[in-house]
A and B are shown apart, each in its own frame.
Chain A
C-alpha cells in the first residue's frame, strides 16, 4: 500500500515535470525555427572575426570560435588563480588581525570587513577600474627607470605587462573575497576552545608558536569547507569581468551570442565550463582537506 502511494506520487511529479518541460521545449523549437537558427555546434569552427585585447596564447580574429572560447578559459583561469592567492593571503592577515590582541588593528579590520561586504562587488570593480586605473594619466603616476610603470594602460614590471582591466578585476575580486575569507578564518580560530590557548601558554610556548602549532592545526578542519565555498564564489564572481572589459569565458560567450545569436549553445558551453571549474576547485580542496586531516588521526 505504502509503496503504491509512493509510486503514484512519483508518477505525478514526473508527469508535471516532463509535461512542463515538453511544453517549454516545444515553444523553444517553434521559436528557434521561426528565427531560423536551429541547434548545432558546427559554428564553433568558423572564424570568430572579433579581436581580443588579451590573449596568453597567439590569437587573431581569423581563428575559430572554439579557439576564442579556449582563450577565454585561459583568461578566466589566470584571474581566478591570481586573485585566489592574493585573497587568501589578505584574508588570513585580516582574519588574524580581527582575532588578535591589538585593539586598533581589530577595529580597522572590522571596518574593512563591513565596508567591503556591505557594498556590491560590481560597484567595487567599477571603482577599481574607473577610479583606480583609468583616471591615471599616461605614465605619470609612478615610474622607476622603466622597470616599474603604473599608468592608465596598466602596470609594466620589467617586461611583464598587466592590463588595467586585468588589474582592476584582480584587485577587486581579491579585496572582496578577502573580507569573506577573513570571517572564515576568524570563525575557525574561534572554534578552538579557550582552554587550548591557556594550555599552550602555561607550557611557556610563545604566541606565534602556539598559534602555528596548536591553534591553526585545530582550526583548519573548520576553515577548509568555508574556504572552498569562498573559492567557488570567487570563480563565479570572476564573470563580472565583462563590466571592466576583460575577456574572460563569460565575456567571450556574450560577444559570440551578440554576433551569432547562439544563446542556447553558449549557455551549455558556459554551464559545462563552470561545472568543470567547480569540480577542479572542490577536488583540489578535498585533497587539501585530506592532507590536513592526515595528521588528525583523532576525530
Chain B
C-alpha cells in the first residue's frame, strides 16, 4: 500500500546560510501517527506546514496522498492537497465572526459544494464526537481555549480528510485544559486516522505515536519507535532534549 506522506530531501533556506529545513526525508504510512519533536526553532512547524502547502521549499520532493509537489509549488496541486488534509493550529485560528457551526460547515459548503443541511448534520455529529455540540450556536470567543481547540479539530475533520496535521495543538492552552484536547486526538488515533503531530507532551507522544521524529536546526536527527526513543534514544542530542523536557 502506498504511504500517505513521502518527503524526499526537503530543503528550505530563509536567508543566507540559515536553513529552516535541511535535507529532510520521511515516510508516514496509512493509519500511522508520526510525532515530531525538537527544540523551538528547529523547523518542526515549517516541516508540517509544507505538507499542506502553507510553506514552500526550495529543493526536494513531496508526495502527499499520491499528489506530487516540488519547489514550483503548483497552486492547483496544493489546492487539491488541502482538500484532503486537515490542519489544527497552535492558536486555534477559528474565524471569530462565524458561529461554531458556521466555522465547521464553511469549507464543506464552499469547497466541497455540499448541501447546507448535510454539512450541518455532519458538523453536529463531529461536535458531539468532541463533546461540545451544546455550543454549536455560540461564537469562538465565548468558549474556553480547550473547547476552541476541539472546535478546530472538528473543523479540520469536516472535510473528511485522509491526513490530519497538528501544529503544537496544546501549547496555547491552560495546563488543566490540555487533557481534554489530547484525549480527543487519542480517540482519532484509535479510529485509525493518519496523523502528523508536533508536540512537547511526552506522555501523550509515548502512547499515541508509531514513530517519533526528532529535529534540530532543520535536520532530522533520528527517527525511532517511541519505546526506543523515550527509553534509549540513539542520539546524544535527543537524550539531552528529553532531559531538559523532564526537568521542566
In the complex, is A directly touching B at CB under 8 Å?
A: yes
Residues of A within 8 A of B (CB): 193, 195-196, 198-206, 209, 213-214, 217-218, 295-299
Contact B93 A203 (CB under 8 A): no
Residues of B within 8 A of A (CB): 52-54, 79, 82-83, 85-87, 89, 91, 93-97, 106-107, 110-111, 139-142, 155-156, 159
| Cα–Cα, bound, A204→B160 (Å) | 12
When distances are taken between beta carbons in the complex, the residues of chain A under 8 Å from B142 are 298
Contact A209 B95 (CB under 8 A): no
Find A202's partner among B87, B97, B141 (CB 8 Å cutoff). Answer: B87
Find A296's partner among B93, B97, B106, B156 (CB 8 Å cutoff). Answer: B97
Contact A204 B93 (CB under 8 A): no
When distances are taken between beta carbons in the complex, the residues of chain B under 8 Å from A297 are 139
Q: List 25 A-B contacts (CB under 8 A).
A: A193-B93, A195-B89, A195-B93, A196-B95, A198-B54, A198-B87, A198-B93, A201-B54, A201-B82, A202-B85, A202-B87, A203-B82, A203-B107, A203-B155, A204-B79, A205-B107, A206-B79, A213-B110, A214-B95, A218-B95, A295-B97, A297-B139, A298-B97, A298-B140, A299-B141
Q: Which residue of A lies closest to B112 (CB)?
A: A204
| Cα–Cα, bound, A116→B111 (Å) | 40
When distances are taken between beta carbons in the complex, the residues of chain B under 8 Å from A193 are 91, 93
Contact A195 B54 (CB under 8 A): no
Interface contacts beyond A201-B54, A298-B142: sample of 15 additional A-B pairs, CB < 8 Å, sorted by A: A193-B91, A193-B93, A196-B93, A198-B93, A199-B94, A201-B52, A201-B53, A202-B54, A202-B85, A203-B106, A203-B159, A206-B79, A295-B97, A298-B96, A298-B140
When distances are taken between beta carbons in the complex, the residues of chain B under 8 Å from A213 are 106, 110
Q: Would you give the shortest CB distance from A197 to chain B, in whole angstroms? A: 9
CB-CB under 8 A for A298 and B82, given A199-B95, A202-B52: no
| Cα–Cα, bound, A35→B218 (Å) | 86
When distances are taken between beta carbons in the complex, the residues of chain B under 8 Å from A200 are 95
Q: Which residue of B lies closest to A198 (CB)?
A: B54
| Cα–Cα, bound, A299→B142 (Å) | 10
When distances are taken between beta carbons in the complex, the residues of chain A under 8 Å from B53 are 201
| Cα–Cα, bound, A198→B48 (Å) | 13
| Cα–Cα, bound, A201→B56 (Å) | 14
Q: Which residue of B lies closest to A220 (CB)?
A: B97
Nearest 10 Cβ contacts at the A-B interface: A199-B93, A204-B82, A298-B139, A203-B107, A195-B93, A202-B87, A204-B83, A204-B111, A217-B97, A298-B96
Q: Would you give the shortest CB distance from A297 to chain B, in whole angstroms? A: 6
When distances are taken between beta carbons in the complex, the residues of chain B under 8 Å from A218 are 95-97
When distances are taken between beta carbons in the complex, the residues of chain B under 8 Å from A196 are 93, 95
| Cα–Cα, bound, A297→B95 (Å) | 12
Q: Would you give the shortest CB distance from B75 to chain A, in whole angstroms? A: 9
| Cα–Cα, bound, A198→B156 (Å) | 13
| Cα–Cα, bound, A126→B150 (Å) | 61
When distances are taken between beta carbons in the complex, the residues of chain B under 8 Å from A206 are 79
Q: Would you give the shortest CB distance from B100 to chain A, in whole angstroms? A: 11
When distances are taken between beta carbons in the complex, the residues of chain B under 8 Å from A202 are 52, 54, 82, 85-87, 89, 156
| Cα–Cα, bound, A118→B59 (Å) | 44
